[in-house]
Amino acid sequence: MPEIIDILNALVLMTNYVILPALTYGSQLALGALGVTLVFGILRFSNFAHGDTMAFGAMATIIVTWWLQSMGVSFGPLPTALLALPFGIAVTAIFVLLTDKVVYKHYRGIGAKPITFVMVSVGVMFIMNGLVRFIIGPGDQRFADGVRFIFKAREFKDWSGLDQGLALRSSQVITIVLAVILVAALFWFLQKTKTGKAMRAFSDNENLALLSGIDPAKIVRITWILAAVLATVAGVLYGLDKSFKPFVYFQLLLPIFAAAIVGGLGKPIGAIAGGFIVAFSEVAVTYVYKKFLIYLLPEHLEPNSLMQLLATEYKFAVSFVILVLVLLVKPTGLFKGKVV
Amino acid sequence: MKKHLLTAALTAAIATSSMANAADIKVGVILGFTGPIESLTPDMGASAELAFKEASDSGMLLGGSKIVPVRADSTCVDASAATAAAERLITSDKVVAIMGADCSGVTTAIANSAAVPNGVVMVSPSATSPALSTIEDKGLFFRTAPSDARQGQVLADAVVEGGIKEIAVTYTNNDYGKGLADSFVAAFKAHGGTVTIVAAHEDGKADYSAEVAALAASGAEKLAVLGYLDQGGKGIIQASIDTGAFETFALGDGMIGQSLVDAFGADMVDSIGTSPGGASAATKTFVKMAKANKIGGEGPYDGTSYDAGALIALAIQAGNSADRASIQANMNKVANAPGTKIYPGELKKALEILSKGGEIDYVGATNIEFNEVGEVFGTYKQLEIKDNKFSTVKIR
Amino acid sequence: MSLFNNPSLRPYLVFGIMAVLLTFVGVTQSWGVSLTIINMCIISAIMTLGVNIQWGYAGLFNVGIMGFCALGGAAAVLVSSQPVGEAWSAGGTGISLALLSLVGGVCFVYILHKVWGKRPLRNTVTFIAALGVYFLARHFYDPASAAIEAVDPAKTGYLGGAGLPIIFSWVIGGLFAAGAAWFIGKVTLGLRTDYLAIATLGIAEIIVALLKNEEWLTRGAKNVTGLPRPVPYEIELQQAGWFIDLVSKFNADVLSGLAGDERAAALQTLVMDASGIFVKLCYAGLFSVVLILLFVLCQLALNSPWGRMVRAIRDNETAAAAMGKDIKARHLQIFILGSAVVGIAGAMMTTLDGQFTPGTYNPLRYTFLIWVMVIVGGSGNNLGSILGGFLVWFVWIEAEPLGTWLMDVVTSGMDPASALREHLIGSAQYMRLMVMGGVLILVMRYTPGGILPEKSARK
């Protein structure tokens, strides 16, 4: 029987390396996937430009942050970017609405196939891809300020007397808290407000909704604004937690899609579940369980090998393996997503 | 037949040299201005062009000729695009030699399908893959950065001398990272050290917590990061510090740069690194020159880039001709002993000696001496982080 | 404008414009550059033919092109590189055992899953069995792959290939891709459009991850360089008597005016230039043969009863099913055929590069760009997709010099030291991305069927 202290050490180890990072990353993915799934639910296509919308939103926020920083404005211990966030959201929303007006609206008018929308969104993706690099460049941008750590691993060790450290970053807390608030607000909006109900009705049955007098233009507008809010917040949170680099946001699109599909397209709750499933499986499958098991197992059973299921090289592939496996069992995702 | 060609080459050399007097000489600069090492290349290109400018401004080069650099983007990763760019330089701009390329993969592609077929000399300042030692280059490929096989050894020596017995290794998942990791791990084990885990990381990915979790759980306290400064390598270090997994790092040359120290300097305890570099006086001269021209000068490949550019200029002068074959024939002559030793900033002196028929031995910023396959043995700086910047501990 | 709108003349016109563009590059830059572009154009055109089979004929939305392309490239390595005997003796048996246990194990799990039937814990049992198979395979695989990778890691460290002429890999690459497509199709073709798309996107990433990390197979991220060519090497040509004679015959009038040393010098330069162009022409010839062959086959297929049936399925699945057509089987067939063509193109591309670098496959370049080609050229029309391959690759390559030139012009009035001007010129290369997106959106808006639309117009 392992001692209490070993169990505690094992728990702290898991929390520090698996649970906390996966929770944070999962929240970022969930917010991204919510945007994808919302657009799919109302506008009925997979928006390939969503990753670059996140990059665009983060970029707009960063520029405002820089401006605020140069004006000497700060947000105390919190990052200034949070102050700039509303401006970033506004700019992104305007840009996205403009894109809709110039590009997507035409295809709704002629009743184009969903696949046409997807291809068009690939075109928008290329343009945003170039635009973001054009404005802010392809390099790494740092814009995080404020207090980085709530407590560091070393401080935790000294405080608790355990062998294992636990670090908690402010960006992790901000990410998780903000994600919870945003998701709660979104669900409240969809469940309780008149517009939200109309959106759900529209998503479930377009014709019926139109018959009952719902204004489709308004629904579409609200959807794009919500998508812009979710994309910008996800993009900024990701940038605060790691760093901002346009190329990475394109890479982020793939796990976001995986998350949205695993949960079932068009299902907000599915997107959130999908985000966490993808994040946790990436970390858990490639984790080295040697140290963890050493704490928990009696001495003669202690492993010599690394106890790693899959090498980290395959981390990125894990989310897609999960995706394929889920689709094999449930062809439209865990929460019975929509098909068009 | 061979004899015939040789005469042809010689006559061509004479024919063009008589025409080339006081004319512009085009030299290609192929570097990855976009792509994974786009943050390093502007200074590298500028360093090479600094050497060209120095030679041109001296007024001594072929009696007053000027070298005009023509830049092209190697993208670092896309072989097709890099070959197309090199093809454009060689057949359309008619460059006489190429300073480049940078990443090992595209360098091989350009050498095989553009430079070697057209008899154009390539001098790479940063392609460090051991595999390049054995390509079929017909004596046209040179490099001023030493092979990774050597760097792995040097870094392992430094780590072991630092008293580290157990280490985890992570590398960027490409030929550079993998090659360096292979040689580092072999050398470290030969010293009796234990490598607990060797894990790759992908560049440009969203999250590195899984990699760091695996590395930390392997049981090692120190981490060797063989990646790129502005790519996954940085993500790994950030995630390591964030989780408290590691605070002592051993860094390969791709990780050396001020931006790393600016970001995490305070949290990186007792960390060491290696980067190609030469006898410190010469290197300092170069850095001073570079800074005077608004170039960083301290990037991992700035010195080697300057040397690559300088060697091309000197080889032109030594053969008294801006002809492709003549440049090739004279590369070793200007780089190796015997002759007057030439340090950075002394190109004018070197050109003068050469024009009088004398001999030189170019040492440059990074202690150049080519072996029989056109590679330098290489000296390395062992670096540590001190007062928020990298400083040289010793030369290996 | 009426000429452009005449459907029967339009192909001649647009291909004529394409030829003029390539000639223009040949004259103003150099023929070497022009031929380099043409060779990649042909390869792109073959890829678009493959995608067109899937999308244009049958409406299958495959976003996994990158994976099939990479498989073709892997075939080039496995066919043409020299076998490494030492590596085979070090780990050949272990790897074979691992593969054997994997294949056997998968069959076992499959049968177990069937036999278990409706008994309880079916999924749990299957899962545990699968896990067991995985660990068994790992048991053989881990030491074997480590042993192979330890064989002279700087140069080999892999099993090597068959040592055959690389041109065989074009067929093998097609077969590899077809095999993978069969498997992927079996798994995913039951999915609806968007689900299928993302699944293929993910599977392509898995394939590339495998090729990049299984070093015992293809050297992975360490790349295989210096693959043998199907055409002569420039250096050999430059020393071959017949080639020098040929060049001097061709340029007799230029050379006749010169004598002795001068003539030899001029000849030397001419031979060097000519050798590069000759090699590229050889490639262009080989590639054209493949392109024409595939084009003819595609045309025949499209206009056969089979082609009509496939298009009928695309336009109305329910009606076709009611007519007794086996939609799933047809879709699988199409998926395999199209992917095989992409695999062929992938092998050809690796042949042309002379190296296999799995790290360079990314979806933007190898999936989405190909899709832009298909849509811009005209989906459902074979000639259209070929045109798309040519035009879009041309723009992709020439957008860089063009962007730089454009920025120079735009900023010419500004102060040379101004920060804005420097920023704009420094950002010129991103024009490439925006131009691509712009072209795609404009084409989809104003000629929704592409430049050369499908003949029997579809809504």
Domain CATH number, residue A256: 1.10.3470
Across chain B, mean pLDDT equals 84
A247 is in which domain, residue-wise? 4-137+146-329
Query: CA torsion sign, A252 to A102 to A119 to A274?
Result: positive
Residues of chain B positioned with their CB less than 8 A from the CB of C33: 84, 87-88, 91-92
**Separation between Cα atoms, residue B361 and residue B354, nearest integer Å:** 11
What's the pTM value of the predicted model, to 2 decimals?
0.88
Q: What is the mean pLDDT of residues C123-152?
A: 89
Q: In this structure, is residue C334 part of a structural domain?
A: yes
Query: Lowest mean pLDDT: which of A133-142, B220-229, C46-55?
Result: A133-142
Give the per-residue pLDDT at C458. 44
Chain C residues inside the 8 Å CB shell of A331: 190-192, 195
- Residue C127's contacts (CB-CB under 8 Å, 6 or more residues apart) are none
Query: Region B34-58: what's the mean pLDDT?
Result: 86
Is residue C457's pLDDT more than 50?
Answer: no
Q: Is C148 within the bounds of a domain?
A: no
Question: Which of C172, C163, C199 has the alpha carbon at shortest distance from C61?
Answer: C199
Distance, in Å, from the CA atom of B124 to the CA atom of B143, rounded to the nearest integer, reads 5
Q: Shortest CB distance from C400 goes to which of B9, B73, B131? A: B73
Res. C4: pLDDT tops 70: no
The residues in C 60-89 lying below 8 A from A, measured between CB atoms, are 61
- For residue B265, the model assigns a pLDDT of 78
What is the arithmetic mean of pLDDT over B103-111?
A: 87
What pLDDT does B73 receive?
84
Out of A75-84, B249-258, C175-184, give the one with best mean pLDDT: C175-184
Calculate how close chain B gets to A115, using CA atoms only, in Å.
28
Nearest CA in chain C to B136: C226
Amino acid found at C310: V
Is residue B10 scored above 50 in pLDDT?
no
Query: How sure is the predictor about C456, in pLDDT bands with cuts at 50, 70 and 90?
Result: low
Q: What is the pLDDT of residue B9?
A: 42
Q: Is the pLDDT of residue B276 over 80?
A: no
Q: Helix (H) and strand (E) counts for chain A?
A: 15, 2
Chains meeting C at 3+ CB pairs closer than 8 A? A, B
Q: State which residues form the domain around C171.
A: 2-83+160-446
Residue A253 has pLDDT above 50, yes or no: yes
- Note whether residue A32 is domain-resident: yes
Q: Look at residue B11 and tell me whether its pLDDT is greater than 50.
A: no
Q: Which two tokens stand for residue B30?
A: 């192929």
Residue B4 pLDDT > 50, yes or no?
Answer: no
Contact A229, A93 (CB under 8 A): yes
pLDDT above 70 (res C208): yes
Whether residue A62 is contained in a domain is answered as yes
Average pLDDT value for residue range A318-322:
88
Contact C437 A126 (CB under 8 A): yes
Contact B213 A290 (CB under 8 A): no
Retrieve residue C102's tokens: 């994997």
pLDDT at site B15: 40
pLDDT at C388 over 90: yes
Looking at residue A154, its pLDDT comes to 82
Q: Does residue C391 carry a pLDDT above 90? A: yes
The domain limits of chain B are 24-145+280-362, 149-269
**Is B149-269 the same fold as B24-145+280-362?**
yes
**Higher per-residue pLDDT: A60 or C422:** A60
* Closest Cβ–Cβ partner in C225, C239, C401 for B1: C239
Number of Cβ pairs closer than 8 Å across A and C?
136
Closest CB to B108: pick one of C31, C355, C360. C355
ipTM, two decimals, is: 0.88
Interface of B with C in 311-370 (CB under 8 A): none
Whether B117 and C360 lie within 8 Å, measured CB to CB: no
Question: Least CB-CB distance to A316: which of B205, B235, B242?
Answer: B205
Least confident segment among C174-178, C229-233, C320-324: C320-324
Mean pLDDT within B82-99: 89
What pLDDT band is residue C1 in, cutting at 50, 70 and 90? very low
Task: Name the minimum distance, in Å, from the CA of C433 to any CA of chain B.
Answer: 13
Interface contact A289-B217, CB threshold 8 A: yes
> How would CATH label the architecture of B24-145+280-362?
3-Layer(aba) Sandwich (3.40)
Beta carbons of A126 and C445 less than 8 Å apart? no
Encode pLDDT of B211-220 as tens digits.
898 898 888 8
CB contact under 8 A, B209 and A17: yes
Nearest CB to C223; choose among B5, B34, B175: B175
Q: Which residue of B has its CA nearest to A16?
A: B243
Interface partners of chain A (CB pairs < 8 Å, 3 or more) are B, C
Asked if residue A67 is part of any domain, the answer here is yes
Cα–Cα distances in angstroms (integers) from residue C58 to residues A59, C117, C327, in the given order:
40, 35, 10
pLDDT band, residue B279 (cuts 50/70/90): low
Supply the pLDDT for residue C354.
87
A334 is a domain residue: no
Give the span between the Cα atoms of B107 and B74, in whole angstroms. Answer: 8
Contact B200 C359 (CB under 8 A): no
pLDDT tens figures, B177-212: 888 998 999 999 999 999 999 999 988 777 788 889
Q: What is the pLDDT of residue A192?
A: 92
Task: Say if B18 is an interface residue toward chain C (CB within 8 Å).
Answer: no
- pLDDT tens, residue by residue, B160-177: 998 899 999 999 888 888
H-state helical runs in A193-314: 194-204, 206-211, 216-241, 246-263, 268-285, 290-296
Give the pairing type, strands B194-201 and B222-226. unpaired
Residue C333 has pLDDT above 70, yes or no: yes
- What is the average pLDDT value for chain C, to the nearest integer? 88
Chain B residues whose CB is inside 8 A of the C220 CB are 178
Predicted confidence at residue B184, as pLDDT, reads 93
Q: What is the predicted pLDDT for the residue at C2? A: 53
Provide the pLDDT for residue A210.
84
- Residue C3's pLDDT band, with cuts at 50, 70 and 90, is low
Give me the number of domains chain A comprises. 1
The answer to whether C20 faces chain A, any CB pair under 8 Å, is no
Report the domain count for chain C.
1
Subunits touching B (CB < 8 Å, at least 3 pairs)? A, C
Q: How confident is the model at residue A56 (pLDDT cuts 50, 70, 90)?
A: very high
Q: Are B187 and B157 in contact (CB under 8 A)?
A: yes
Which of A17, A253, A283, A318 has the most B C-beta neighbours within 10 Å, making it the best mutation to test the interface with B?
A17
Q: Average model confidence (pLDDT) for chain A?
A: 89
The answer to whether residue A184 is domain-embedded is yes
Contact with chain C for residue A316, Cβ under 8 A? yes
Of B214, B219, B242, the CB nearest to A312: B214
Q: Is the pLDDT of residue B12 over 50?
A: no
Residues 41-70 of B with CB under 8 A from C: none
Nearest Cα residue in chain B from A153: B244
User: What is A34-55 written as a DSSP string?
Assistant: HHHHHHHHHH-S--TTHHHHHH
What confidence tens digit (pLDDT) does each residue in A172-203 have?
999 999 999 999 999 999 999 999 999 988 88
**Residues 6+ away with beta carbon under 8 Å from C27:** none
The residue-averaged pLDDT of B14-34 equals 68
pLDDT at B5 over 60: no
**Chain B residues whose beta carbon lies within 8 Å of the beta carbon of residue C222:** 131, 175, 178-179
pLDDT at B389: 80
Q: How far apart are CA A261 and CA A254, in angstroms?
A: 11
**Res A88 pLDDT > 90:** yes
Instruction: Give residues 194 to 223 of B whose Cβ lies within 8 Å of C.
Output: 200
Residue A38 C-alpha, separation from nearest chain B C-alpha, in angstroms: 22
Calculate what percentage of chain B has a pLDDT beyond 70: 93
CA distance linking residue A252 with residue A271, whole number of Å: 15
When the candidates are 3.40.50.2300, 3.30.390.50, 3.40.50.300, 2.40.160.40, the CATH number that belongs to B149-269 is 3.40.50.2300
Supply the pLDDT for residue C5: 67
Choose among C199, C372, C427: nearest Cβ to A133.
C427
| Residues of chain A positioned with their CB less than 8 A from the CB of C205 | 254, 316-317, 320
